[in-house]
Structure 1
Amino acid sequence: MSVEVQIVREASDEVVGALASLLPQLSTSAGPVDHESVARLLSSDANTLLLAFVEGSAVGMLTLIMFPLPSGLRARIEDVVVDEAVRGHGVGAALTEEALRLARTAGARTVDLTSRPSRQAANRLYERLGFEARDSTLYRFAVQA
C-alpha cells in the first residue's frame, strides 16, 4: 500500500470532508467540522495539518504543533487518526515520520504526544519510531462546561 502524506494549506471541500469523516473515529466529543473550523486550524502559524492519502483517498490525519518556549522550540503531535479500513498498513507511521521530519527541520528540541493505554497498536508504533514513555502526570482543566 503506497501512502502519500501532504501538508494541508487550505480548507477545501475535500479537506473538510476528510476531517469530517476521520475525526469521529478519534473522538466522540469533538465538535462538527466545517470550512470555518478547518480554516481557523490552518490559519495558526503553530499548526501543520497532515493528511495521508492512499489511491487518492484521504485515510489519515495528524496535527503537528510547534511553539517557541524560553527553553527552545518544542513540538507536539495531536489528533492522529487513521481510517479503520486501512489501520495496520503504515499510514500512521507515514504521518508520524513526516511530522518528525518537519519538527527536526524546524529545529524542535523535542516532540511530545499522548496516547491512551487502550490504543495498543498506536503505542507500539510510537515506541517503534523511538518515542519513550515519560513518567509524568497529565492535568486537564475543562475551560468550558
Structure 2
Amino acid sequence: MSATSGSENSVTIRQLDHSDQQVIDQMFPLLQQLTTTVQPESIAMALDHSGTMVFVATKQSTLVGTGSLCWTACLTGVRVHIEDIVIDRAHRNQGIATRLLTALVDAAQHQLHAKSIDLTSRPDRVAANALYQKLGFVPRDTNVYRYQPTSPQ
C-alpha cells in the first residue's frame, strides 16, 4: 500500500519491511520523540512479528512519521491496536498524521478484517486526541489495566 501526492516534497505512506534499511536506521531517533524507553532491538522485533505491521511516512528518503498495527485473532474476531504514532516535530501540522492514521485504519479494515480498532493516548496529548476523535475514534467506557512484570533476578 502506498499513498503519495504530486509534488517533489510529497509524503509517501507505506508498510515498512526489512529491505528498507535506510528508513529503519532513522526509526530509533524518531521513536525517541515519543518515549525515551524505546530500545533499538524493538524495531527489528516489530518488523519480524507476524502480528505487527509497521507503516512509515517518508519525504523522499527521510522518515517523517510512523505508526503500527498490532493485531490479535481472538475468539470473537480480529482485534487491532494502533500503536506508536509519531510524526517528526519538524513535520507536524502538515496533515501527515491524518494520512498515516487513514492508511492504518484502511489496512486494519481491508487486510485484517478487524472487528475493532483501538488506540490509547495520554490525556495531555490534546492535539492528538482531537485528531483521533475527528477521524471517528470515540472514547471507550472501559478500564485499562497494566501489569508490570518484575525483572528476572
Q: Same fold (TM over 0.5)?
A: yes
RMSD of aligned alpha carbons: 1.6
Superposition TM-score, scaled by structure 2 size = 0.86
The Cα shift of 1:134 comes to: 0.9
Q: What is the number of equivalent residue pairs in this alignment?
A: 142
1:16-50 Cα shifts (integer Å, max 9, x gaps) = 3221121110002222x15xx43321111100000
Q: Which runs of 5+ in 2 are unaligned?
A: 1-8
Q: Give the AA of the match of 2:132.
A: Y
| 5-14 or 67-76: bigger deviation | 5-14
1:69-91 Cα shifts (integer Å, max 9, x gaps) = 00101100001111001111111
Change (3 A) 1:53 1:142: same
1:84 corresponds in structure 2 to 89
Q: For 1:120, which of 117, 123, 126 is the aligned residue?
A: 126
1:70 corresponds in structure 2 to 75
1:4 corresponds in structure 2 to 12
Q: Give the AA of the match of 2:25.
A: G
DSSP-derived class of the 2:57 partner: strand
Higher helix share: 1
Q: Give the AA of the match of 1:129.
A: L
The Cα shift of 1:11 comes to: 6.1
2:147 corresponds in structure 1 to 141
DSSP-derived class of the 1:142 partner: coil
| 58-67 or 11-20: bigger deviation | 11-20
| 93-102 or 132-141: bigger deviation | 132-141
2:5 corresponds in structure 1 to none
The question of 1:28 aligning with 2:36 is answered yes
The Cα shift of 1:117 comes to: 0.7
Larger CA Rg, structure 1 vs 2:
2
Structure number with higher relative contact order (C-alpha < 8 Å, ≥ 6 residues apart): 1
Change (3 A) 1:42 1:4: same
Superposition TM-score, scaled by structure 1 size = 0.90
The Cα shift of 1:64 comes to: 0.5
